[in-house]
Chains A and B, each alone.
Chain A
Amino acid sequence: MAKKKRISQAISEAIMEEMIRDENVVMIGEDVESGMNGNSIGLLDKFGKDRVINTPISEAAYTGMAIGAAMKGMRPVIEYCINTLQYVSMEMLVNQAVKLRYMTGGQVSVPMVAIVNMSGAGISCAAQHSDSTWAQLIHMGMKVIVPSGPIDAKGLMKAAIRDNDPVVIYLPALALGVAEELPEDEYLIPLGKGSVKKEGTDLTIVAVGHMVPEAMKVAKMYEAKGISIEVIDPRTLYPLDINLILDSVRKTGKVIVTDDGYRFCSWSSEVAATISEQAFDNLKAPVKRITRPVNFVPYSRPLEWTTFPYTGQLLEGVAQLTGVKPDL
């Protein structure tokens, strides 16, 4: 039996395969030679320093470098070691990478992938290293992927590298422990195609990243109580497989949307609004969002784990919508 692997191993396998397939693919970032983050393991040995470029701590410069190289026909993969390093290069991401095709009247494509490693909280790093920063990018039209497990991560990563637009893939810290056996044959998972992780008839949970395994856990707990929960993982937040979500809501009539963003202007807010616009007549209860509050993440561990969405909030939400309390 094949060995189970984690998200970072899946990502490094995806990059390895794509670098073998296409010599325009290169890996650029801080400490990528060492493979410290797990996403570039084995790349240096296989491809050498020409294609695995260790950079100084200069996020804006190496993100811009990826943009320029992409404009000249390359397919760079860059990495931010931890979630909020994205902020340092926001100009490059939202004002350059994603806009240049439009601004040049379609003359250029910018095929690059940025990996945001260790997205979100639960890692005892306090507020400056605990954000899930995808809403800012989606707002600006960036294609965004958030895998919840290794199988999806590998297929999505390969599709992202072959995509002709900039794509950002978030690796949620609290999903990095999920282990799965990866298929042996090559596979790609297209952007914009969600996945029904569990079928159900009474309530839909649309969950992102680490909330997918949590939703599966909650669904299982409620199964024993006769409540059938459908769990949907959109996998790509934009483009979004909205029909998959709407079809599920039309079937169940009740929905929780959950992601690790701050509540105001969160991805969950956008999805909740769209469900209300498109499936209002099918709803048996208001759409429920489970997100972070508009509140930062403290260092102290008992406090930290109350400030981002996790099992507790999800159980509470299901109880509210179904009137059935969980057995704790």
Chain B
Amino acid sequence: MALNREQKLKAYKDMLLIRQFESKLPVLIAEGHAWGEAHQYIGQEAVAVGVSSALTKEDSVTSTHRGHGHLIAKGGEVKYMFAELAGKATGYCKGKGGSMHITSLEHGIYGANGMVGQGVCIALGVAFANKYKKDHTVTVAYFGDGAANEGTIHECMNLASILKLPIIFLCENNKYAITTDADYATSVKDISVRAAGYNMPGVTVDGMDIEAVHAATLEAVNRARAGEGPTLIEAKCYRFFDHFNSYPKICPFRYRKEEEIEEWKKRDPIPAFEQKLLAEGVAQEELDSIITDVDKEIEEGVQFMIDSPYPDMSEAYTDMYTDKHYTMPIRGW
């Protein structure tokens, strides 16, 4: 079923929210609010939003190092995400996980994962529990073209196929694993053809087109909910920035041509969707008001982050175990 008007406007808003959130990251790092690296999702918004538009709140996802988009699209609130990036007590993980490890079970977010391809194994288990508990939910395992060459992905696709688990393997092929071109690193042109090796449907969709992603995901979701097992979806997309934001400063090697970047930017999913909405009769004022709302949400989120306290120093030594024993001396006897 195609997205209705309300869903489309929600999708537009979510894509903008991701774009704005991600645009803030280098600024926050430069200003010293956040540390480390920003793996920006900019350019790929149509994938996460298209996928989530076919899911319910009860469905689950596991995410990647480039996961902010997946989390926002799945209902993660930007203020708690900003707070997590700033290592504040109010962050989703109390500041212990940071950018690459945001988890929020209430939104079905079973964790972004810093280890490439490994979060997919966890998604397999969530899907196993979905099936075992017969709760009719599905799990989406996001991974990239780089992870597509990790052994775990292949083990998981095989296991999911033989157990008929309600899982969707969602490969975002953004063309580069850090600096290595998928065309070089991958044995096949379309990663989706690998599904055949695991006896599951595999489709390649235009990851710059939110409605195409929605449609493909919905079909896979229906299949999973009907107990027919997993699907592999490859969304071909493009990240407009480098692997992480400081890449150009630390490495002069240019692994892609400016013309290529410009070509893909012409297909930016947000203006494309905007044009489509206008053509379908949505008023510019309505879009403007969404833009204003998003700006406000981002601004308030950043303020929330700034106003939030750092965790108490003792928090560094909590949450190691659920059942802690007195003979587990954290700093020795």
Contact = CB atoms under 8 A, between A and B. Distances in A.
B122 A238 contact: no
B125 A71 contact: yes
B129 A74 contact: yes
Interface in A236-287: 238-243, 274, 277-278
Given A60-B151, A69-B126, A104 B111 contact: yes
Contacts of A278: 333
Given A71-B126, A105-B96, A63 B121 contact: yes
Contacts of A76: 125
Given A104-B111, A242-B327, A65 B124 contact: yes
A165 B159 contact: no
Q: Which of A65, A69, A74, A241 has the most CB of B within 10 A?
A: A65
Interface in A80-114: 91-92, 95-96, 100-109, 111
A80 B97 CA distance: 30
Interface in B49-91: 60, 62, 91
A165 B323 contact: yes
Contact of B121 (A68, A108, A240): A68
B257 interface: no
Interface stretch (B21-29, B99-107, B177-185, B286-294): B99-107
Nearest to A95: B115
Contacts of A55: 159
Interface residues of A, number: 53
A251 B234 CA distance: 67
Contact of A26 (B60, B101, B132): B132
Contacts of A68: 62, 110, 121-129
A50 B151 CA distance: 26
B152 interface: yes
B325 interface: yes
B219 interface: no
Given A69-B126, A69-B132, A96-B118, A104 B96 contact: yes
A228 interface: no
Contacts of B118: 60, 64, 91-92, 95-96
A89 to B, nearest CB: 9
A325 interface: no
B92, B118, B133, B155, most chain A CB atoms within 10 A: B155
A61 B113 CA distance: 15
Given A67-B121, A95-B115, A60 B91 contact: no
Interface residues of B, number: 51
Contacts of A61: 121, 124, 152, 155-156, 158-159
A102 B319 contact: yes
A101 B103 CA distance: 10
Contacts, number: 160
Most chain-B Cβ atoms within 10 A of its Cβ — which of A56, A69, A163?
A69
A297 B37 CA distance: 45
A214 B318 CA distance: 40
Contacts of B92: 104-105, 107
Contacts of B130: 72
B162 A56 contact: yes
A104 B126 contact: no
A153 interface: no
B259 to A, nearest CB: 39
A64 B62 CA distance: 12
Interface of A: 26, 50, 53, 55-56, 58, 60-74, 76, 91-92, 95-96, 100-109, 111, 141, 143, 163-165, 191-192, 238-243, 274, 277-278
Q: Which 4 A-B pairs have the closest CB atoms?
A: A64-B121, A68-B125, A105-B94, A61-B155
14 contacts: A56-B159, A58-B155, A61-B159, A64-B125, A64-B152, A68-B128, A69-B126, A104-B97, A105-B93, A105-B95, A141-B320, A143-B321, A238-B328, A278-B333
Given A68-B127, A165-B321, A192-B325, 15 more contacts: A66-B125, A67-B121, A68-B121, A68-B123, A68-B124, A70-B125, A71-B126, A76-B125, A101-B322, A104-B97, A105-B94, A105-B97, A107-B93, A143-B321, A191-B323
